[in-house]
Chains A and B, each alone.
Chain A
C-alpha cells in the first residue's frame, strides 16, 4: 500500500513536472556556501546546539553539523540557519 502510493507520487512528479518537495513532502534545503542553510518543509526540530542541528523529516531526519550555529529565523515550517556549515547528512530511521 505504502509503496503503491509512493509510486503514484513519483509518477506525478515525473510526468507533470511538479516540484518534488511539494508533492513528496520532502524538505527543500538551500545553502549559500557554508554560511547559510535554509530549510523548508521540515517536520520539527529535534535538537539544536552550537554545533549541531537536527530536524525531523518525513522518513528519518536531517543532521547539519558545523560551528557557531544561530537560528536566524524560525517560522512554522522553515528554518534559516547561520554559522559555519561543515556537514549535511540524511539519516534514515
Chain B
C-alpha cells in the first residue's frame, strides 16, 4: 500500500480501458512497471484503474502496441488542484491582491504611543511627530530610523531630557522624560551671596540683602558679596572682618540675599592648532537612489543614473518590509550619494593664531556658559612644534560670580 502514499502530491489519473478483456491491459501495465491500483471491472468490455500522473507517457507508449481504447474520466491530486486554482484568474488575482494588501497594511504606522510625560508635553510631541509625518497611516519606510526621530525630537523640544523611540511592529512607542526644570535654588532660609571666583566686580544688581562690596572691588573666591543680615552694615563699616561674630552677637533681621554680581575674571587657556589641515565638505549636491533588495539581489527602482561626482559620501538606509510581524526577505534600500570636496589648508602663523583664539574662546564659552562675555586679551606664550602651534592664551571674561550660601543660624 505504501506505493501509493504520495499520489496526492504527485497526482493520479483514472484510466478507463475499453476493449476485449480490458483487465489484461492493466496486467500489461503492471508488468511494465507502471503501478496500477483500484482496478475495477464495470462490465465485460470496460475496466477502470488508477495510475500515477508521471506514468502517463509510458502508458501511451504501451497503448500504441495494443488495441485497447483509453479515456481518462477523472484526475486527482495537487498538480490538478493547483492547475484548477490558477485557471480561476479572479481567485489568483484576489489572492495576490490580498497578499499585497497585507504587506501594505503591515508597513504602515497604526499607532503612536507616547508614555511618561504630562499631557501638555505629550501633545507637543504628537504635534511634532505629525509634522515629521509620523502618524497613523504613514508608510513606515518613508520615515527615518528611530534614532533619527529621537534626535530630531530632542533638538526640537528643549523640554525633553530624553526620548526613546521604539518601533514595535506597526506601532511607534515613545517614552519621554521631561527636564524637570530646577527652580533656581531659592534658599528657604536666610542666605548670603558669596563670590564663586576671584575677580574684579564690574556690575552689581542686588535685589535683596545688604551689599558689602562695590564696583571695582577685587574679591576672592568665597568672599561675602551680599549679606543676608540687614543690620550688618554698621558692623561692616566699623571693622571689615569677623562677620560671623557680629552676626552671633546681634540677632538682626535675616533675609535670603538675591542679586547678580558681575565680575571680570581671567583665564589662561592652552591650545594647540596644526598648521596644515585637510577637511571634507559636502557641496550640497546629492543624488538619491532607491532599490528593492531581495537577498543579495538588488533591483533598482528609482534613480538609475550615476551622478558624476569626483568624491562622494554615501549614506545607505535599509528599510525592511513587513508581513504581519515578520520581516520579508525584501527590503527597500535608499542610497544617498552626496558630492564631497576635500580641502587642504595651509595656515600661516598669523592665521593659525587667530584660529587658535577662536577655538580657545569657544572652548571657554562652553565651560563658562552662555551668559559669560569673553574677550581675548593676549598671547602669553607661543611655540611651533611638529607642525603645530602651541599657544597659551589669556582671556578676560565678564560673568556672574554670585553663589548663594545659606547662613547657619547656629542654635
B27 near A45 (CB under 8 angstroms)?
A: yes
Residue in A44, A47, A48, A76 whose beta carbon sits within 8 Å of that of B39 in the complex = A48
Q: Which of B1, B27, B41 sits near A74, CB closer than 8 Å?
A: B27
Given the known A-B contacts A44-B31, A74-B26, are A50 and B39 also in contact in the complex, defined by CB atoms under 8 Å? no
Q: Which of B21, B26, B36 contacts A47 (CB 8 A)?
A: B21
Contacts of B23 in A (CB 8 A): 45, 47-49
Per the CB 8 Å criterion, the residue count for chain B at the interface is 22
Q: A48-B41, A50-B41, A76-B33 are in contact. Are A71 and B21 (CB under 8 A)?
A: no
What is the CA–CA distance of A70 and B47 in the complex, to the nearest angstrom?
11
Q: Judging by beta carbons under 8 Å apart, are A75 and B30 in contact?
A: yes
Task: Give the number of chain A interface residues (Cβ < 8 Å).
Answer: 16
**Which chain B residues numbered 258 to 273 have a C-beta less than 8 Å away from chain A?**
none
B67 to chain A, nearest CB (A): 17
Question: What residues on A are CB-neighbors of B1 within 8 Å?
Answer: 72-73, 80
**Are the CB atoms of A71 and B35 closer together than 8 Å?**
no
State the CA gap A61–B317 with chains docked (Å).
Answer: 80
Contact A76 B30 (CB under 8 A): yes
Report if B37 contacts A (CB, 8 A).
Answer: yes
Which A residues are in CB contact (< 8 Å) with B29? 74
Q: A50-B41, A76-B33 are in contact. List 19 more A-B contacts (CB 8 A).
A: A44-B27, A44-B31, A45-B27, A47-B23, A48-B23, A48-B39, A48-B47, A49-B23, A49-B44, A69-B41, A70-B38, A70-B39, A71-B26, A71-B38, A72-B37, A73-B1, A74-B35, A74-B36, A74-B37
Residues of A within 8 A of B (CB): 44-45, 47-50, 69-76, 79-80
